[in-house]
Protein backbone atom coordinates (compact mmCIF):
# COMPACT_ATOMS: atom_id res chain seq x y z
CA UNK A 1 0.00 0.00 0.00
CA UNK A 2 1.21 3.50 -0.88
CA UNK A 3 2.24 5.53 2.13
CA UNK A 4 1.30 9.12 1.38
CA UNK A 5 4.32 11.39 1.04
CA UNK A 6 5.24 14.58 -0.76
CA UNK A 7 7.47 14.59 -3.82
CA UNK A 8 8.54 17.41 -6.13
CA UNK A 9 9.12 16.04 -9.62
CA UNK A 10 10.59 18.40 -12.21
CA UNK A 11 10.90 18.09 -15.98
CA UNK A 12 13.71 20.09 -17.55
CA UNK A 13 15.09 20.53 -21.06
CA UNK A 14 15.11 22.78 -24.09
CA UNK A 15 12.00 23.69 -26.06
CA UNK A 16 10.73 20.84 -28.19
CA UNK A 17 12.13 18.13 -25.89
CA UNK A 18 8.64 16.95 -24.92
CA UNK A 19 8.78 17.83 -21.22
CA UNK A 20 5.27 19.31 -21.12
CA UNK A 21 3.91 16.23 -22.90
CA UNK A 22 5.73 13.78 -20.62
CA UNK A 23 4.81 15.68 -17.44
CA UNK A 24 1.11 15.40 -18.41
CA UNK A 25 1.52 11.69 -19.16
CA UNK A 26 3.08 11.09 -15.73
CA UNK A 27 0.36 13.17 -14.07
CA UNK A 28 -2.35 11.02 -15.68
CA UNK A 29 -0.62 7.76 -14.70
CA UNK A 30 -0.33 8.85 -11.05
CA UNK A 31 -3.96 9.99 -10.98
CA UNK A 32 -5.00 6.56 -12.28
CA UNK A 33 -3.17 5.08 -9.29
CA UNK A 34 -5.28 7.43 -7.14
CA UNK A 35 -2.18 9.28 -5.92
CA UNK A 36 -2.87 12.89 -4.92
CA UNK A 37 -0.97 14.80 -7.63
CA UNK A 38 -0.94 18.31 -9.06
CA UNK A 39 0.72 19.55 -12.25
CA UNK A 40 2.10 23.05 -12.66
CA UNK A 41 4.65 25.07 -14.64
CA UNK A 42 7.23 27.82 -14.53
CA UNK A 43 7.19 30.67 -15.09
CA UNK A 44 3.58 30.64 -13.95
CA UNK A 45 1.49 28.19 -11.98
CA UNK A 46 -0.54 30.76 -10.02
CA UNK A 47 -2.63 33.72 -11.11
CA UNK A 48 0.00 36.27 -10.03
CA UNK A 49 2.91 34.25 -11.48
CA UNK A 50 1.05 33.90 -14.80
CA UNK A 51 0.71 37.70 -14.95
CA UNK A 52 4.48 37.97 -14.56
CA UNK A 53 4.92 35.27 -17.24
CA UNK A 54 2.84 37.34 -19.67
CA UNK A 55 4.97 40.39 -18.93
CA UNK A 56 8.17 38.43 -19.69
CA UNK A 57 6.76 37.00 -22.92
CA UNK A 58 5.41 40.35 -24.08
CA UNK A 59 8.82 41.92 -23.53
CA UNK A 60 10.56 39.30 -25.66
CA UNK A 61 8.50 40.11 -28.73
CA UNK A 62 9.34 43.81 -28.68
CA UNK A 63 11.35 44.61 -31.82
CA UNK A 64 13.43 47.42 -30.36
CA UNK A 65 16.21 46.09 -28.10
CA UNK A 66 16.37 49.42 -26.27
CA UNK A 67 12.83 48.81 -25.00
CA UNK A 68 13.59 45.33 -23.69
CA UNK A 69 14.33 44.41 -20.11
CA UNK A 70 17.92 44.26 -18.95
CA UNK A 71 18.98 40.62 -18.32
CA UNK A 72 18.94 41.21 -14.54
CA UNK A 73 15.44 42.72 -14.68
CA UNK A 74 14.39 39.72 -16.75
CA UNK A 75 15.93 37.31 -14.21
CA UNK A 76 14.27 39.11 -11.29
CA UNK A 77 10.89 38.72 -12.97
CA UNK A 78 11.45 34.97 -13.29
CA UNK A 79 12.45 34.80 -9.63
CA UNK A 80 9.46 36.93 -8.61
CA UNK A 81 7.16 34.49 -10.42
CA UNK A 82 8.94 31.59 -8.67
CA UNK A 83 8.44 33.22 -5.27
CA UNK A 84 4.68 33.50 -5.89
CA UNK A 85 4.57 29.94 -7.22
CA UNK A 86 6.41 28.40 -4.26
CA UNK A 87 4.56 30.41 -1.61
CA UNK A 88 1.06 29.92 -3.01
CA UNK A 89 1.14 26.56 -4.77
CA UNK A 90 4.19 24.32 -4.42
CA UNK A 91 4.84 24.65 -0.67
CA UNK A 92 1.16 24.28 0.38
CA UNK A 93 0.81 21.19 -1.84
CA UNK A 94 3.96 19.57 -0.43
CA UNK A 95 2.81 20.28 3.13
CA UNK A 96 -0.40 18.39 2.30
CA UNK A 97 1.75 15.42 1.21
CA UNK A 98 0.88 15.84 -2.47
CA UNK A 99 2.99 14.92 -5.48
CA UNK A 100 3.90 18.07 -7.42
CA UNK A 101 4.92 17.74 -11.07
CA UNK A 102 6.51 20.94 -12.36
CA UNK A 103 7.31 21.78 -15.99
CA UNK A 104 10.60 23.71 -15.47
CA UNK A 105 12.08 24.88 -12.17
CA UNK A 106 15.40 26.19 -10.84
CA UNK A 107 17.64 24.40 -13.36
CA UNK A 108 16.03 26.30 -16.24
CA UNK A 109 17.16 29.53 -14.57
CA UNK A 110 20.72 28.19 -14.29
CA UNK A 111 20.78 26.86 -17.86
CA UNK A 112 19.20 29.88 -19.55
CA UNK A 113 20.13 32.84 -17.35
CA UNK A 114 23.52 31.79 -15.94
CA UNK A 115 25.02 29.65 -18.72
CA UNK A 116 23.05 31.30 -21.54
CA UNK A 117 22.89 35.00 -20.64
CA UNK A 118 25.85 35.12 -18.23
CA UNK A 119 23.86 36.37 -15.25
CA UNK A 120 25.92 36.09 -12.05
CA UNK A 121 25.12 32.73 -10.39
CA UNK A 122 25.70 34.20 -6.90
CA UNK A 123 23.00 36.79 -7.59
CA UNK A 124 20.47 34.02 -8.30
CA UNK A 125 21.68 31.74 -5.49
CA UNK A 126 21.30 34.49 -2.88
CA UNK A 127 17.68 35.11 -3.91
CA UNK A 128 17.00 31.36 -4.05
CA UNK A 129 18.19 31.00 -0.45
CA UNK A 130 15.39 33.32 0.56
CA UNK A 131 12.53 32.22 -1.69
CA UNK A 132 12.98 28.44 -1.97
CA UNK A 133 12.24 27.83 1.74
CA UNK A 134 14.52 24.79 1.57
CA UNK A 135 12.45 23.28 -1.25
CA UNK A 136 14.48 21.32 -3.80
CA UNK A 137 13.35 18.86 -6.46
CA UNK A 138 13.25 15.24 -5.27
CA UNK A 139 13.32 13.89 -8.79
CA UNK A 140 14.44 15.60 -12.01
CA UNK A 141 13.94 14.31 -15.52
CA UNK A 142 16.22 16.06 -18.02
CA UNK A 143 14.93 15.30 -21.50
CA UNK A 144 17.52 15.59 -24.26
CA UNK A 145 16.46 15.82 -27.88
CA UNK A 146 18.15 15.97 -31.27
CA UNK A 147 18.20 19.38 -32.94
CA UNK A 148 16.31 18.06 -35.95
CA UNK A 149 13.41 16.65 -33.89
CA UNK A 150 13.27 19.72 -31.66
CA UNK A 151 13.02 21.97 -34.74
CA UNK A 152 10.23 19.85 -36.28
CA UNK A 153 8.22 20.01 -33.03
CA UNK A 154 8.63 23.77 -32.72
CA UNK A 155 7.46 24.31 -36.31
CA UNK A 156 4.31 22.28 -35.57
CA UNK A 157 3.42 24.34 -32.50
CA UNK A 158 0.26 26.39 -32.85
CA UNK A 159 1.19 28.91 -30.17
CA UNK A 160 4.76 30.11 -29.76
CA UNK A 161 6.51 31.56 -26.72
CA UNK A 162 9.84 33.30 -26.24
CA UNK A 163 11.83 30.08 -25.95
CA UNK A 164 10.71 28.96 -29.41
CA UNK A 165 12.51 31.85 -31.05
CA UNK A 166 16.09 31.53 -29.80
CA UNK A 167 18.93 30.74 -32.17
CA UNK A 168 19.83 27.06 -32.66
CA UNK A 169 23.23 27.65 -31.04
CA UNK A 170 21.43 28.80 -27.87
CA UNK A 171 19.49 25.53 -27.65
CA UNK A 172 22.65 23.47 -28.15
CA UNK A 173 24.37 25.39 -25.36
CA UNK A 174 21.32 25.15 -23.08
CA UNK A 175 21.00 21.39 -23.57
CA UNK A 176 24.66 20.91 -22.70
CA UNK A 177 24.06 23.04 -19.59
CA UNK A 178 21.14 20.88 -18.43
CA UNK A 179 23.24 17.73 -18.87
CA UNK A 180 26.12 19.38 -16.99
CA UNK A 181 23.80 20.33 -14.09
CA UNK A 182 22.53 16.73 -13.92
CA UNK A 183 25.99 15.15 -13.85
CA UNK A 184 26.74 12.97 -10.79
CA UNK A 185 23.38 13.73 -9.16
CA UNK A 186 21.55 10.58 -8.06
CA UNK A 187 18.08 12.09 -8.29
CA UNK A 188 18.62 13.36 -11.86
CA UNK A 189 17.80 11.22 -14.88
CA UNK A 190 18.91 12.28 -18.36
CA UNK A 191 16.66 10.56 -20.89
CA UNK A 192 16.58 10.76 -24.68
CA UNK A 193 13.18 12.08 -25.74
CA UNK A 194 13.73 12.27 -29.50
CA UNK A 195 11.16 9.50 -30.03
CA UNK A 196 8.87 10.65 -27.18
CA UNK A 197 7.14 7.27 -27.26
CA UNK A 198 5.51 4.83 -24.85
CA UNK A 199 8.86 3.38 -23.76
CA UNK A 200 9.94 6.80 -22.49
CA UNK A 201 6.62 7.22 -20.64
CA UNK A 202 7.09 3.83 -19.01
CA UNK A 203 10.70 4.54 -18.07
CA UNK A 204 9.69 7.80 -16.36
CA UNK A 205 6.79 6.07 -14.59
CA UNK A 206 9.01 3.20 -13.37
CA UNK A 207 11.60 5.63 -11.93
CA UNK A 208 8.82 7.61 -10.24
CA UNK A 209 7.22 4.48 -8.75
CA UNK A 210 10.58 3.44 -7.38
CA UNK A 211 10.95 6.80 -5.62
CA UNK A 212 7.42 6.54 -4.25
CA UNK A 213 7.90 2.96 -3.14
CA UNK A 214 4.92 1.64 -5.13
CA UNK A 215 4.54 -1.21 -7.62
Residues in contact with 122: Cβ distance below 8 Å, sequence separation at least 6, in sequence order = none
Residue 201 pLDDT more than 80?
Answer: yes
Question: pLDDT at position 157, please?
Answer: 61
Mean pLDDT value across residues 8-25: 93
**Spatial CB neighbours of 144, under 8 Å, sequence gap ≥ 6:** 13, 17, 175, 178, 179, 190, 191, 192, 193, 194
Q: Which of 22-36, 118-132, 151-165 has the lowest mean pLDDT?
A: 151-165
Could you say which DSSP state residue 7 is in? E
**Looking at the predicted structure, is the pLDDT value of residue 8 above 80?**
yes
Confidence band for 197, pLDDT divided at 50, 70 and 90: confident
What is the pLDDT at residue 167?
A: 67
Q: Give the predicted TM-score (pTM) of the model.
A: 0.90
> What local confidence, expressed as pLDDT, does residue 159 receive?
59
The SS3 of residue 31 is helix
Under the banding of pLDDT at 50, 70 and 90, the label for residue 196 is: low
Q: Would you say 137 and 12 are in contact if contact means Cβ atoms under 8 Å apart?
A: no
Local confidence band at 39 (pLDDT 50, 70, 90 cut-offs): very high
Number of Cβ atoms within 10 Å of the Cβ of 74: 19
- pLDDT tens for 49-95 read 999 999 988 776 666 667 788 999 999 999 999 999 999 999 999 99
According to the model, what pLDDT value does residue 161 have? 54
More confident position, 23 or 157: 23
Q: How confident is the model at residue 212 (pLDDT cuts 50, 70, 90)?
A: very high
Confidence of residue 169 (pLDDT cuts 50, 70, 90): confident
Helical (H) or strand (E) element with 100: strand 99-103
> Domains of the chain, with CATH numbers?
7-212 (3.40.50.300)
Q: What is the DSSP letter of 2?
A: P
What is the percent of the chain where pLDDT is above 90? 69
Amino acid sequence: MFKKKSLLIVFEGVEGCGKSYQSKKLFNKLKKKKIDTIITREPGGTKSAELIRNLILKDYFLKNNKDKFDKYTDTLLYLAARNEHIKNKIKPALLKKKIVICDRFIDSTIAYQVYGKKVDAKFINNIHKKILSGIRPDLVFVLKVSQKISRIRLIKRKSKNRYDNFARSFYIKAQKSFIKIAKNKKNYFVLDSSNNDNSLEEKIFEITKRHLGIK
